[in-house]
Amino acid sequence: MGSSLENRPPGWSYNPSRWNQRLPIVALALLGTAIAAYLSLYQLNLIEDVWEPFFADGSRRILESKISHILPIPDAVLGALGYLLDALTGVIGGRDRWRRMPWIVVIFGLAVGPLGLVSVILVILQPVLFDAFCTLCLLSAVISVVMIGPALDELLASLQHLKRIRRQGGSVWRTFWGIDPAAGQPTDLKQVEA
Amino acid sequence: MWFQVANTALGIWLMAAPAVLDYGAPAASVDRVLGPTVAAVALIAASEVTRGFRLLNVPIGVALLVVPGLLGYETPALANSIAIGAAIILLAIPRGRIKHQVGGGWRSLAE
């Protein structure tokens, strides 16, 4: 129990679903949730001012801009929901979730990727359209981009697993939903657990 | 990983350069678009499993070399764009050290 070799995908030197791999991402996602929630309070007029140490009225200008209100709800609210989804899908499942719950790993990967992409687009728009920067928006963007690489190794392990199952003639559908993960268990993993 | 950390820093520098070196459009707009893009690509590529992303920074570096001539940059923006563009290309090409094995990587999915 607890060995770094336990539950390793075939051909891997580590297990991407181990807690020491996942908890840092979950912590970053929670930090992102907190920052975006704070910015949401300002955009929803629940607080009077927003913390901005470097760029004068940059944060206010950006958070009040048309782009940030292009959707029915302010963009920071969407960001907070995105980060919360990252944290939830990061924490659900055990150390073997790359093969027992590919569905949650795929949702995790899909949640982390686009959130980072949208953050970068917003960072590009800030100075070009409004000639302003927003410290907490930049920090939030850095967090969302930093999460991408560490999250995608698990997605790779799950996709390789599904491919292996298909090669062995198993049901990709049932494996994806974790209905009979043991059926598709690679032989070397059986030996490790025996 | 350190090559990617360096390119992240260069991308952030491009975001700050228009203010620090005091130059305006068109150079400022180009650097404020390409800077965060370079930084984001390099940050993603810092992870071993997504190291392949680093190659996206090669064409961006080439753009930094070519665009100043096309848009007629003035001196500080011109020198900055060419120096930083060349550095980004050089730092984006080497793969760096890979310590972990990941079952053949993304390429294994296409086999």
- The per-residue pLDDT for range B84-111, each reduced to its tens digit, is 999 999 999 999 999 999 999 999 998 7
Quote the ipTM score. 0.88
Instruction: Report yes or no: A109 at the B interface, CB cutoff 8 Å.
Output: no
Interface test with B, best of A152, A161, A167 (most B CBs within 10 A): A152
Please give the full DSSP string across B34-97, using - where no structure is assigned.
HHHHHHHHHHHHTSGGGGGGGGGHHHHHHHHHHHHHHHT--HHHHHHHHHHHHHHHHHHS----
Question: Positive or negative CA dihedral for B67, B30, B10, B51?
Answer: negative
> Using a CB-CB distance cutoff of 8 angstroms, which residues of chain A are in contact with residue B48?
153
Q: Is the pLDDT of residue A188 over 50?
A: no
CA distance A189 to A179: 18
Give me the number of domains chain B comprises. 1
Q: Is residue B48 part of a domain?
A: yes
A164 neighbors A10 (Cβ within 8 angstroms) = yes
> Å from A8 to nearest chain B CA?
10
CATH of the domain at A36: 1.20.1440.130
Instruction: Tell me the residue range of the domain where B54 lies.
Output: 2-97
B36:A9 CB<8 A: no
CA distance A191 to B44: 35
CA distance B44 to A193: 34
Q: Is residue B49 part of a domain?
A: yes
What pLDDT is attached to residue A193? Answer: 44
Q: Is residue A97 part of a domain?
A: yes
Q: Is residue A14 part of a domain?
A: no
Q: Is residue B84 part of a domain?
A: yes
Q: Is residue A5 part of a domain?
A: no
> Average pLDDT in the B60-80 region?
94
A149:B43 CB<8 A: yes
pLDDT-derived band at B66 (thresholds 50, 70, 90) equals very high
User: Nearest Cβ partner of B109 from A150, A153, A163?
Assistant: A163
Instruction: Report yes or no: A123 at the B interface, CB cutoff 8 Å.
Output: yes
Q: Is residue B105 part of a domain?
A: no
Per-residue model confidence as pLDDT tens digits over A97-110: 999 999 999 999 99
Instruction: Tell me the residue range of the domain where A87 lies.
Output: 19-193
Interface test with A, best of B34, B54, B99, B101 (most A CBs within 10 A): B101
Q: Is residue A13 part of a domain?
A: no
Q: Is residue A180 part of a domain?
A: yes
CA angle A116, A121, A126 (to 5 degrees): 125
Mean predicted lDDT score pLDDT of chain B: 94
Q: Is residue B51 part of a domain?
A: yes
Higher pLDDT: A56 or B58? It is: B58
Q: How many helices (H) and strands (E) does chain B have?
A: 4, 0
Give me the number of domains chain A comprises. 1
Q: Is residue A157 part of a domain?
A: yes
Q: Is residue A2 part of a domain?
A: no
> Using a CB-CB distance cutoff of 8 angstroms, which residues of chain B are in contact with residue A123?
36
Q: Is residue B111 part of a domain?
A: no
Among residues of chain A, what percentage have pLDDT more than 90? 50
